[in-house]
Amino acid sequence: MNRTSALPDTGIVAPPIVHARFGVGQVVRHRLFDFRGVVFDIDPVFANSEEWYQSIPEDARPRKDQPFYHLLAENAESSYIAYVSQQNLLPDDGEEPVNHPAIAGLFEAFRDGRYQLRREHRH
């Protein structure tokens, strides 16, 4: 749900409140492109560079006022880190693990379709 409200006594309008649909350790896939990945961090709103944002074709540019996810991603050719808007992600219902070389450094086991964050990375 998106809500916008004015901060009391300031007249400043606060950004909409948007809740993250996916959590750290969850396996997701991109809605448009053929890749999947494991969520390892979440920004509540866009927090990358303006240059990165402007490099996305205008007709495909996501809104900035939504969660953005850092993924350990893979496709048929390679493994990489991706930064993806919530509107472009879907849950990956498969039971296959993601084969990214950085997974072992952040996560322990792959159970019930989800990775368990290593104890030293938990807050």
Residues 10-21 have pLDDT tens digits of 667 666 667 999
Residue listed under structure tokens 């205008």: 58
This prediction's pTM: 0.84
Report how far Cα 106 is from the mean position of its chain's Cα atoms: 16
Residues 70-122 have pLDDT tens digits of 999 999 999 999 999 999 999 998 888 999 999 999 999 898 889 999 988 87
The H or E element spanning position 85 is: strand 79-85
What value does the mean pLDDT take over residues 29-33?
Answer: 95
The 10 Å Cβ neighbour count of residue 50 is 9
**First CA to last CA across the chain, in angstroms?**
26
Cα–Cα distance for residue pair 84/63, rounded to 1 Å: 11
Report how far Cα 26 is from the mean position of its chain's Cα atoms: 10
Percent helix, strand, coil in the chain, to 5, is 15, 35, 50
- Please give the CATH number for the structural domain made up of 27-121: 2.30.30
